[in-house]
Structure 1
Amino acid sequence: MHQTIVEQPPRGVVPSTYVRLLYEYLEKRGVAAAALLGVAAPEAADRGSLRYPVAAWRALLQRAAEHLHDPLLGLHLGQTITPAHFGVMGYVLLACPNLGAALARTLQYQRLLYDVNPMRSSVEGSELLLEWGVDQGRPGALVDECAITALLQLTHNATGRRIVATEIRFVNPAPADIQPYRDWFGCPVLFDQPETSIRFPQALLALPLRQPDTVLLNVLERQADDLLAQLPPSDDFEQAVRRCIARLVREGQPELELVANELHVSARTLHRRLAAAGINFRELRESIRQRLAEDYLADPRLQLAEIAQLLGYSEQSAFTRAFRRWSGQAPYAYRLSLLNPTAG
């Protein structure tokens, strides 16, 4: 007798402003969205504070795809996204000076944008890798394809140019025809992968955005912080540790005991929970510092001494030594390679 394995429903939520995208898409095609989906559209006045379980979002997408006879709905829907569909956070991203700064805010406020499987970023050679695991479950092809397409569409909206990835991977099974994916993304697209990911040239982080506004950015970030504080606690302990380290790093070298105190757990509990996830605290701290350094170096307005201070170094020379250890390059040389990738 064969044992039936039932996959657990995915955990996580998406903001109502994002869900509204589907209702608008259906209405433009002459479909009474609320009648078809059986749920009223999110109120236009809601700024994203209402959250939809990702399992419910998947069900809405499946119902719409069946009605439209469109298995590529995720791909098509994501292309219609605008910053307004992410509420305050959409405008936070638009007000950033460059793509690197927008990515840093995406990581910082990702629970407001898309609170499902958390996004991780890393640098591999001259490429930036964005990854999403399956710790919170597998939302499915329609959900994942809409999210990845929407993310790339947002970069187009913000920069005014089409961003082409080097490679895209999905955890979901391959569709019968993968050509439409290659046609729209413009790069190799792989399926049945361990993680969903986007890989693209790191030099793109220096691309300026179309509407940078430092004053507006500060105002919007305060609003985003207020919205983030209103969210229920996340069960993603690693993400909480990462955010805590990123916040404390400018004050110096955040030790494990200090981070544990900020998270209201004992140092032993923090060490044990990180170890259970295969994470070394010191390595995590260094990787966060490196990512922040790379984000800051992508902003030409910041002096190296200012970046050293933002990262908690008392002297610029200490920052230079650390950055050489991380990347094999001096910070100034790294910045030059970002701002002028064709040099040399």
Structure 2
Amino acid sequence: MSTDFWVSMPIIRNIVLGTEASTAQIESICWAGGITPQELEDAGYRLSLEQNCAIMEAALTISGKRNMGLEIGKKTTSVVLGITGHLMQTSKDVLTALESLQQFTAAFTRLYNFYIEVKDQDLYYYCEPLQVWNDISPETARHSVDMAYAGTLHVLYLLTGKLFSLKKVMYRYSRVSDTSLHEQLFKCRPTFNETCNCMVFSMADMKTTVIGYNKELNEVFKALLEKEMDKERSVADFSAEVRQSILKHFNYTFPQLEEIAAHLRLTPRTLQRKLKIENTSFRVLSDNIKHELACSLLRSEKLTIAQISYKLGYTEPSTFQRAFREWTGTSPNAYRKALI
């Protein structure tokens, strides 16, 4: 299981129990992801992208809930985010709470990017599953965005006692047949086939005070999270930072050296020099990540071998097939058949 793609158990527990399924159905949902119902209580457990998708797919099938993401999200509390949730609960205002979520997303998942951007008098709040998730299981990725949108609104209501109105709600995904629940929750009509997943708030609302604001406690929670992040970085190294940047910026095509160097505010030569100190290179890291991504992407029968090869930056499918055989000792087709 790749250590680069994971989600914390409290988030999965929220999904499984949020389906309101029977005991037997919960067992089936857990079994699909290779866990037991008892393991739902292990807050320190990290599940892989594949486990996450399998559990969500099973939850959708078994629950039969067409709007599962929205329905789970509208009941979600900040507790599922662990210490990051406690940091939000003790923040000064809504803007600070969302900034905390952006800063410490990696404390509870590596399958998602949450970030905010101020434009004029509006705040754009982006909720983006990793592209590899969109590729292997687009339906669960869409529901995860629904969950994030509805969950954010519900958490902000619990933090402030205020129901926020949204200026706009955007989805990368195709339009769903019935948006009535979306409109009920968001107080606006969502748009689809956009270039991003984003909710737009008024900046005036961002100044709303958080009821549980506690400066001393907030500083304690922030220090705990920073210590945890520092610990993970120290255990890792510069190459791990480069890996995370590659994964974060893997959208429709695989990022190149120059792009990653720019994101890390380094020259390509400096990036390569720093990696050489750790006895590796951008090429080696890229090949390792391509191997992991290929194994994940091959789980989706919707993607052809040629499509996967182009996503990973290969100009010819035959080049990808040779590389895959070197990594695994088998062909992409044989690997896919074994999975099925």
1:62 counterpart letter in structure 2: E
1:154 counterpart letter in structure 2: V
1:14 counterpart letter in structure 2: V
Pick from 32, 53, 78 the counterpart of residue 83 of structure 1.
Answer: 78
Which string of whole-angstrom CA distances, capped at 9 and with x for unpartnered residues, describes residues 146-190 of structure 1?
122212221111111112211111112111112221122111211
Shift of 1:239: 10
When the two structures are superposed, what TM-score results if normalisation uses the length of structure 1? 0.62
| Alignment RMSD | 3.2
Q: Which ranges of structure 2 fall in alignment gaps of 5 or more residues?
A: 249-261, 276-281, 283-340
Whether the 8 Å CA contact 2:115–2:126 is kept in 1: the answer is: yes
Q: How does 1:9-48 map to 2 (within 5 A)?
A: 12-26=5-19, 28-32=20-24, 33-38=26-31, 39-41=35-37, 43=39, 46-47=42-43
Q: Which residue of 2 is the match for residue 164 of structure 1?
A: 165
Structure 2 residue matching 1:52: 3-state secondary structure: strand
1:195 counterpart letter in structure 2: C
Pick from 115, 125, 148 the counterpart of residue 120 of structure 2.
Answer: 125
User: Number of paired residues?
Assistant: 241
Q: Distance in 2 between matches of 1:127 and 1:188?
A: 18
Whether the 8 Å CA contact 2:6–2:109 is kept in 1: the answer is: yes
User: Residues 185, 60 of structure 1: CA spacing in aligned structure 2 closer, same or farther, 3 A cutoff?
Assistant: same
2:36 counterpart letter in structure 1: A
Pick from 35, 47, 62 the counterpart of residue 67 of structure 1.
Answer: 62
Whether the 8 Å CA contact 1:19–1:42 is kept in 2: the answer is: no
Whether the 8 Å CA contact 2:165–2:187 is kept in 1: the answer is: yes
Whether the 8 Å CA contact 1:20–1:41 is kept in 2: the answer is: no
Whether the 8 Å CA contact 1:117–1:132 is kept in 2: the answer is: yes
Q: Distance in 2 between matches of 1:205 and 1:221?
A: 20
Whether the 8 Å CA contact 1:100–1:206 is kept in 2: the answer is: yes
User: Residues 69, 86 of structure 1: CA spacing in aligned structure 2 closer, same or farther, 3 A cutoff?
Assistant: same
Shift of 1:109: 0.6
Which string of whole-angstrom CA distances, capped at 9 and with x for unpartnered residues, describes residues 184-206 of structure 1?
21112112222111111011111
User: Residues 162, 25 of structure 1: CA spacing in aligned structure 2 closer, same or farther, 3 A cutoff?
Assistant: same
Whether the 8 Å CA contact 1:134–1:195 is kept in 2: the answer is: no
Q: Distance in 1 between matches of 2:167 and 2:75?
A: 22
When the two structures are superposed, what TM-score results if normalisation uses the length of structure 2? 0.62
Which string of whole-angstrom CA distances, capped at 9 and with x for unpartnered residues, describes residues 103-155 of structure 1?
12111111124422423322222111122456633152222211222122211
Which string of whole-angstrom CA distances, capped at 9 and with x for unpartnered residues, describes residues 236-286 of structure 1?
32899xxxxxxxxxxxxxxx9x9659xx847999xxx9xxxxxxxxxxxxx
Q: How does 1:266-305 map to 2 (within 5 A)?
A: none
Q: Which residue of 2 is the match for residue 237 of structure 1?
A: 245
Q: Distance in 2 between matches of 1:130 and 1:267?
A: 36
Structure 1 residue matching 2:131: 3-state secondary structure: coil
Match status 1:145 vs 2:146: yes
Whether the 8 Å CA contact 2:107–2:229 is kept in 1: the answer is: yes
Q: Distance in 1 between matches of 2:247 and 2:101?
A: 13
Q: Distance in 1 between matches of 2:148 and 2:106?
A: 14
Moved >6 Å (runs of 4+): 266-269
Q: Which residue of 2 is the match for residue 278 of structure 1?
A: none
Q: Distance in 2 between matches of 1:164 and 1:56?
A: 35
Q: Distance in 2 between matches of 1:57 and 1:192?
A: 24
Whether the 8 Å CA contact 1:131–1:195 is kept in 2: the answer is: yes
1:131 counterpart letter in structure 2: Y
2:245 counterpart letter in structure 1: F
User: Residues 239, 40 of structure 1: CA spacing in aligned structure 2 closer, same or farther, 3 A cutoff?
Assistant: closer
1:183 counterpart letter in structure 2: Q
Q: Distance in 2 between matches of 1:79 and 1:167?
A: 18
Whether the 8 Å CA contact 1:117–1:135 is kept in 2: the answer is: yes
User: Residues 150, 114 of structure 1: CA spacing in aligned structure 2 closer, same or farther, 3 A cutoff?
Assistant: farther
Q: Which residue of 2 is the match for residue 116 of structure 1?
A: 111
Q: Distance in 2 between matches of 1:19 and 1:135?
A: 17
Q: Distance in 2 between matches of 1:127 and 1:106?
A: 18
